[in-house]
Amino acid sequence: MTTRSPVSAQETVDRVRSALEQGSPSRPGNRLAPAANTGDGQAFDFNTLPEYEIHKITKAAGAITGIQNPWYRVHDGRAGETTSIDGKTVVNFSSYDYLGLNGHPAVDAAAKAAIDRFGTSVSASRLSAGERQIHRDLEAALARLHGTEDAVAFVGGHATNVTVIGHLLGPEDLVVTDAMIHNSVLEGAKLSGAKHILCAHGDVDALERILRLNRARHRRALIVVEGLYSMDGDAPDLAALIRLKRRYSAWLMVDEAHSTGVLGATGRGIAEEQGVDPTAIEIWMGTLSKSFASTGGYIAGSRPLIDLIKYETPGFIYSVGLAPPTTAAALAAIEVMQNETWRLEKLRKNGLLFLARAKAHGLDTGLSLGAAIIPIIVGSSPHAVILTERLLARGYNVAPAIFPGVAENQARLRFFMTSRHTPEQIESVIETVADELPKVRSGPSLVDIIARR
């Protein structure tokens, strides 16, 4: 049996570029045409940007190999535990609708009633256009959920992290984040101008060394972690982080985008899951677009923090307020979650079943603890994309996570559980992955396929 040496992502791009530039006798249209020389006007042509060249190479490689783009697939209707793509119903593992509340009658009714009363928009920022009681009701519910004094909701989760971190910290400060932290946190740290240090994933000892060596030289320090990591499906040791942040006089921020409505017996997140006093954490962040079947982001914490955000952060002051129907939908979803706790129990059972069956088939699930997010690590970006297409053909929708989102040898398919998935759907998709993955790995590489065309 011949073994193939691993090929890095950049080597793959280089080889694909070479193959495309050389063209193929049987496919003369594959050659990449050079960008037109437009003189000074070339600077205004996005087609000439190196970033766009890579984009064109990727699209061309997909066309040559017959591999469809696994992203931006058009769904025909509501996407929950199942969805319809191109008129075909498939089992869906690419939805953050963890509790199955998107389309819940009470959530839909609340959104429609809000439209009837308030319309579809508040039409300006809340600072200038004024409040709606529904905003205050949602924020009070979020504060109760996290055990904090107050909360404030933004129109977007990504923007929440960017503007809050970007405004609370400055060039004299220190931001320490887990290496697997979300892009929104990275962008917020960049915007702040603070010294930013990435800490090895989940390594509390490494975090302690970073703080010991750097904290004294900075005015403020902020540690940012996720309650449930979206790439690996694991959680941090919150009690250990609290001890460290107290020792080094740092703020601790927990991004609960994927853990609220997933962790904890009543869905209150990682503090409930690990038995930690939520008031020991200065900043709780979350989103409304996952368990709460809506859109937007929020910060929960002390009243002085929330007041500061409401009157100082540009992303709140200069952005329109949450739309009434999405606000009402999120509020109703929180109420349904608290009343229908079986959804939380079923979600956890589904996650643990998926994890157990995947391990039983020898699949690499990385660090996942089996709470809603379980990766299956493939180890090659092209293989991950090909496996995604094979699964879709067999009735399962799941998206890949590839380089540069993860290291090339960590390319994976991420499976997101919902409370509405059935054991049969979970068993069958695991068996399908176990059947298809060896075939993909033993088949020709992306470069081999191009070379043969």
pLDDT mean by block of 10 residues, the chain; 453 residues: 46 57 44 50 79 81 77 93 97 98 98 98 93 96 98 98 98 98 98 98 98 98 98 98 98 98 98 98 98 98 98 96 98 98 98 98 98 97 95 97 91 98 98 97 71 60
Do 312 and 364 lie in a common domain? no
Q: Which residues contact 397 (CB under 8 A, 6 or more apart)?
A: 73, 83, 85, 90, 91, 92, 93, 94, 391
Separation in Å, CA 114 to CA 151, 207, 345: 21, 46, 30
Burial class (CB in 10 A: 0-12, 13-18, 19+), 442: exposed
Residue 275 DSSP one-character state: T
Residue 424 lies in a domain: yes
pLDDT of residue 28: 41
Q: At which of 305, 339, 373 does a domain end?
A: 339
**What's the number of domains the chain is made of?**
3
- Which residue has tokens 């998926």? 354
In contact, 337 and 267? CB cutoff 8 Å: yes
* E strand or H helix at 437: helix 423-442
pTM: 0.89
Residues 324 and 244 in one domain: yes
Chosen domain end from 315, 339, 363: 339
Residues 307 and 239 in one domain: yes
Q: Does 296 map to a domain?
A: yes
2 assigned to some structural domain: no
Say whether both 157 and 208 belong to one domain. Answer: yes
Residue 445 is predicted with a pLDDT of: 65
Q: What is the pLDDT of residue 66?
A: 75
Asked if residue 71 is part of any domain, the answer here is: no
> Residue 156: left if φ>0, alpha if ψ -120 to 50, beta else—which one?
beta
Closest CA to 136 of 120, 115, 150: 150
Q: What is the CATH number of the domain that holds 359?
A: 3.90.1150.10
Task: Give the domain CATH number at 283.
Answer: 3.40.640.10
With respect to residue 184, please indicate whether it lies within any of the assigned structural domains: yes
Q: Are residues 29 and 140 in the same domain?
A: no
**Same domain membership, residue 298 and residue 189:** yes
Q: What is the residue whose two structure tokens read 């329109």?
A: 320
Residue range of the domain that includes 45: 9-65
Q: What are the DSSP calls for 109-175, one per residue?
A: HHHHHHHHHH-S---S-HHHH---HHHHHHHHHHHHHHT-SEEEEES-HHHHHHHHHHHH--TT-EE
Domain's final residue, options 339, 356, 379: 339
Tell me 266's DSSP state.
Answer: T
Compute and round to an integer the Cα radius of gyration of the chain: 24
425 and 307 part of one domain? no
What pLDDT, on a 0 to 100 scale, did the predictor assign at position 47? 87
Alpha carbon 117 to its chain centroid, in Å, reads 33
Residue 199, beta-bridge partner list: 178
Q: Is residue 398 part of a domain?
A: yes
Question: Do 272 and 368 reside in the same domain of the chain?
Answer: no
Structure tokens at 156: 């977007």
> Do both 121 and 262 map to the same domain?
yes
- Regarding whether 281 and 193 lie in a shared domain, the answer is yes
Is residue 15 in a domain?
A: yes
In a domain, residue 110? The reply is yes
Q: Are residues 376 and 405 in the same domain?
A: yes
* Angle (CA) 75 421 374, round 5°: 90
Whether residues 52 and 172 share a domain: the answer is no
